[in-house]
Structure 1
């Protein structure tokens, strides 16, 4: 067998493979002999079918199969040994006069080659790195929510402006009948508030659904209807009052602090607010990090210029899926995927240049951290190391999970690298301002 490469240009090449009979004939003959031993053909005893008949029936199929195996194995080996960085897969060139009976079988494959380029992490224009801070308003609101959540309900006979009212919404024409609890401080309509305040259990109130609540989702839950119906709804509903309660806020005392954070971990209102601030900003960091990763990615794609073997890749996309695409479909798919392909190449270059690797021991520690945070969401705040180790071993026994966690860990390594080497300017913002700037 002889394999040679013809360089067309920097991004395209053709590999020629010449296979002679001596490369495959012995293997083909052995397979046909095995076929002869097993063949059941009328008129012949098993194992006594003439080899000529076996070759006539199966010879071409066996030859094609063995040559294709040789091609695949040796072409992959050649690409590895020659350290050719190919995009997609080699594409066989159409040969109109090909003859499987030739003494030497010649094959040609088109290659699309990855471009050579450099990546500069430090851009001329600084990229904004948001630091989201929990401001006083947010912290105070969170304290108020905690006090409300852990407070106690006191039964009342008459509705006040901040009470919780349980009752049934009803409209026969729209087939609405749903028992729910509403909080008056979440009602938007002043007319509705005025109609409710002062009412007693057993009484009914007619309310209009349009603009009833401050948040749209509250109407969906209160009436027991779907989102699509709620968006258009402008009807009167009868609300029958069954129960009235005032939620008295919990005291900010040691009993509440221990319930929230464990015994003696927080000992004062100031420490509570400091803890809320710390936890909130830790959660915000995930959002600001994702924003930074997206912005650096976009900047790298914009600043890192290189050509791609577009014609080859379009042709490869055309034939590589389950169904053959038309020229226009393949071009459209290439245009959609080009940006992603560019970043894959850029990311691979960054990983190689900075020797970023995922080691098994650090992957296990990363998995433990992920597992610990998941446990914390369900109230398990202090798992033992042995417990984390056992869960991590089970998780890492699943190859899909290994792949997913490895990608997350590499993404974290890239983020740390960008924070260290990219041209960043830190901007402190409240969460509300972050949302306005980033999402409009």
Structure 2
């Protein structure tokens, strides 16, 4: 019977000494030989009639090694389960002398593995953390700007010959380039519609007189700023980073005749709301703006709390083991170089630390994701796709969509992770004492832009 002993190399760094006796693997090897004899396809012999001695001579060494290593792997896994060992990364071999394996002289074989144990996590005191919940107030100027934006967005389009005012709409193909204007392989290429007034004041004179077919080479930071820059980046599918270059190809020049503020327009925008008058409409728009800014503020708070946890949690890692383990994670069974490991290790350690932190929070706070959470998540996504604020979940097409999503393994895994992460941050936020801090829209945007520059 196999024996396994455990020895400490360093804190949280262990070695497993494994001795496999021939009685552990020999019966399986002999069985494998017989099975292979039945299946072997060797010229000159009928299938199933190949002499066992020939099979052993031709394939025995390979089958012998497979059975020994299979038994080693099985014994190590059984041992770890019985010991209820909490380890990080799979055990990796330290001494794996395959030259000792000889099918003609079966014997007891010794192997050595090393593994890292899961460290304890000491969370910081969230209640004493200095974090702010920024409150962006929606003033009349912001409200008027949004009302005008909606009137333009849903207005009637005309096509003037050239750009002649800040309210012109440009259909543009954005092509990401380098500073010299050469398109970047794998860079962003996307069509978008942009109001001339979304460009920076200093840049707009370059657009006057431009016609369909004209092109401009721009540095993104020189062309856009503030909230408008964030809208453009979002439309282009870019998460962050404004230090980019683009070629702008104008495919159409338009002008929008703004919609009248009447009940037809109100009902189009809010079909499920009782919006009859301009006052109702403005109140509804203000409420939605407040919700949008509250969401952005909460995202910023959660980001701050992420750093409180990551920077403040006390976790000791078996770093030397982890570096050796990371080295084994190369592609195509090729180990990573020492330089690759050193370059990747800080980010790898942060990701591992965050995983341990969230595992601890989920366990201590009793956070779990239930089937009804997944269904609600799918429904909410469907609302977003449809641009609606409510759906009848009893409607057959809605339930069919949700049921189909629940059978998509990847979708369920991704949804599960997103829901658990949100629940974890909800709990973390409830434990903190964030201080409500008024801030202007401009300062909030500038603060986020500065943060993005610091992290890129």
Shorter-chain TM-score: which interval?
0.7 to 0.9
Preserved contact between residue 127 and residue 295 of structure 1 (Cα < 8 Å): yes
Name whichever of 39-48 and 24-33 sits farther off: 39-48
After superposition, the Cα gap between the structure-2 partners of 1:21 and 1:274, relative to the gap in structure 1 and judged at 3 Å, is same
> What do the CA deviations read for 1:242-291 (whole angstroms, capped 9, x no partner)?
x997x664432322222221276212222212211222232333322322
The residue correspondences of 1:36-75 to structure 2 (distance < 5 A) are 36-39=37-40, 41=42, 47-75=48-76
Distance 1:51 1:263, change over 3 A: closer
Task: Tell me, in whole angstroms, the C-alpha distance in 2 between the residues paired with 1:407 and 1:433.
Answer: 32
Q: Deviation of residue 149 (structure 1)?
A: 4.1
Equivalent position of 1:133 in the other structure: 137
The answer (yes or no) to whether the contact 1:134–1:281 under 8 Å persists in 2 is yes
Matching residue of 1:117: 121
Distance 1:279 1:77, change over 3 A: farther
SS at 1:251 equivalent: coil
- Greater shift after overlay, 407-416 or 10-19? 10-19
- Alpha-carbon distance in structure 2 between the residues aligned to 1:186 and 1:9: 59
Which residue pairs with 1:286 in the alignment? 295
Rg: which structure is higher?
A: 1
Aligned to 1:357: 368
5+ residue gaps in structure 2? 171-192, 229-243, 451-456
After superposition, residues 194-213 of structure 1 pair within 5 angstroms as none
2:428 is equivalent to residue 418 of structure 1: yes
User: What corresponds to 2:4 in structure 1?
Assistant: 3
Instruction: Using the TM superposition, give the Cα deviation of residue 421 of structure 1 relative to its aligned residue in structure 2, in angstroms.
Output: 0.5
| TM-score for the superposition, normalised by structure 1 | 0.76
1:68-116 superposed Cα distances (whole Å, 9 cap, x missing partner)? 2222233223223322121111011125596124521222110111112
**Equivalent-residue separation in structure 2 for 1:78 and 1:141 (angstroms):** 67
Q: Does the 8 Å contact 1:121/1:300 carry over to 2?
A: no
Q: TM-score, normalised by structure 2?
A: 0.74
Aligned to 2:223: 216
- Of 416-425 and 181-190, the range deviating more from structure 2: 181-190
* 1:152 shift after superposition: 5.6
Could you say if the C-alpha distance between residues 337 and 143 of structure 1 is closer, same or farther in structure 2, counting changes exceeding 3 Å?
same
CA shift digits 1:140-170 (9 cap, x unpaired):
111122334445679999x99777699xxxx
Unaligned runs of 5+ in 1: 167-180, 197-203, 219-225, 232-242
Partner of 1:313: 322
CA distance in 1, matches of 2:272, 2:58: 83
State the SS of the aligned residue for 1:366.
helix
1:177 — aligned with what?
none
- Taking the TM superposition and a 5 Å limit, the aligned residue runs for 1:318-329 are 318-322=327-331, 323-329=334-340
Q: Which residue, out of 334, 340, 357, partners 2:351?
A: 340
Q: Contact 1:10 / 1:115 at 8 angstroms: preserved in 2? A: no
Which stretch shifts more, 425-434 or 184-193? 184-193
> Residue 97 of structure 2 contacts residue 111 of structure 2 at CA under 8 Å; is this kept in 1?
no
User: Is 2:411 the partner of 1:401?
Assistant: yes
Q: How does 1:228-243 map to 2 (within 5 A)?
A: 228-229=246-247
Structure 2 distance, partners of 1:47, 1:65, is: 22
Conserved 8 A contact 1:13-1:112:
yes
Q: Mark the CA change 1:284 to 1:68 in structure 2 (over 3 Å): closer, same or farther.
A: farther
Q: CA RMSD in A?
A: 4.0
Q: Distance in 1 between matches of 2:305 and 2:311?
A: 10
Query: Which residue number corresponds to residue 282 of structure 2?
Result: 273
2:112 aligned counterpart, secondary structure: strand
The 3-state SS of whatever aligns with 1:320 is coil
> Any conservation in 2 of the 1:375–1:381 contact (CA below 8 Å)?
no
CA distance in 2, matches of 1:210, 1:43: 73
Question: Paired residue for 2:385?
Answer: 374
Per-residue CA distance 1:303-325 (angstroms, 9 max, x = gap): 11222111111111112212222
CA displacement at 1:55 relative to structure 2: 2.1
- Answering whether residue 93 of structure 2 is matched by residue 92 of structure 1, we say yes
